Amino acid sequence: MKYRTRNWSLILGALVLVTLASGCKNNKGNKVPPPPPKAPTATLSADPTSIQRGQSSTLKWDTTDATDVTLDGSKVDPSGSQSVSPTQTTTYHLVAKGAGGTQEATAQVAVAAPPTPTPTPAPTPPPITDEQLFAQNVRDIFFDYDSSNLRPDSQQALAQAAQLIKQKGWKVQIEGNCDERGSTEYNLALGERRADAARQALLSGGVSPDSLKTISYGKEKPQCTDSNEDCWQKNRRDHFSLLH
């Protein structure tokens, strides 16, 4: 079967070639004056053609035989693309002028208003688990090299976290970590100091001692394993876990 199909396609191909060849011969036979300059062509498209307000769409255009191409009045390359973010439905005009005339093309980008929040008087907050709430509000804090001093932004973050921890009655494990430099055993002690620094700050924020637990992982549980300052900084941290 396969063999026969291929034979048919070969025959078809040959026919096409013959047809094309004869067409050429006909054209050459006509002695006509040189053709006038070709009329320019122009195409313009938008992708996507409809957006929501605030989103963007990409205009693409292509022209031939044009010497002067403008998009909405500004001169542009004969072909190209451009990102647009109209605030309302807009029709873009491409004008291609050449020796053979002028060609225009248009493309429309429809803009829809973003969906307005349903104006219910008391919007119910999206359902969120304690774990999500904890992760959003009790974030890692970071330290300087060989230091367990809290940075000002960490103190602020811990003061806010303390309020939520108290309000929710959470039990929290504070995990002190170090970068890969320094000695294994001493880093356990340093991690202990980092965990304790956060613990003291949370206690000052009114959290009960019973709801806080500390552990040092030293340099045993890095979250980043490259040997550079970026990575070391990521590892010099207190991480907080919600205990159950």
Partner 1 sequence: MSRKTQLAIFALILLLPATHALGQDWIRTGTNRGAVVRLADADFKGATGDPQTGPLATVFNQTLWNDLDNAGIFEMVPKSFYPLQIPGAPGEMKLDAWANAPVNAAMVTFGNLGVNAGKVDVQGWLYDAKNAQFPQVLGKQYREDATPDNARLIAHRFADEIILRLGGGIPGIAESRIYFVSTRTGNKEVWVMDYDGANEKQVSKLGSIALSPRISPDGTRLAFSGLTRDSWQIMMYSTELGRTVAFPRYAGDNFSPAWSSDGSRIAFSSSMHSGLSEIFIADSSGANARRLSTGKGDVSPVFNPKTNGQIAWVSGRTGLPQIFVMDADGSNVQQMTKEGYAVSPAWSPNGLLLAFSWVRHYGPGVLGGQDIYLMDIASRQIVQLTHDAGRNDFPSWSPDGRHIVFQSNRSGTEQIWSVLADGTHLQQLTRQGRNSQPNWSFK
Residue numbers at the binding site for partner 1 (CB under 8 A):
146, 173, 181-186, 188-190, 192-193, 195-196, 199, 213-217, 220
In whole angstroms, the minimum distance from the beta carbon of 145 to partner 1 comes to 8
Type of residue found at 218:
G
Take residue 21 and report the two structure tokens written for it.
Answer: 């060849």
* SS3 at position 195: helix
CB nearer to partner 1: give 60 or 171. Answer: 171
CB nearer to partner 1: give 39 or 188. Answer: 188
In whole angstroms, the minimum distance from the beta carbon of 154 to partner 1 comes to 18
The one-character DSSP state at 209 is G
CB nearer to partner 1: give 76 or 207. Answer: 207
Q: Give the residue ranges of DSSP H helices in 54-151.
A: 130-137
In whole angstroms, the minimum distance from the beta carbon of 123 to partner 1 comes to 40
CB nearer to partner 1: give 168 or 193. Answer: 193
Measured between alpha carbons, how far is residue 152 from residues 6, 11, 163, 201 in Å? 78, 82, 17, 11
In whole angstroms, the minimum distance from the beta carbon of 167 to partner 1 comes to 24
CB 97 within 8 A of CB 68: yes
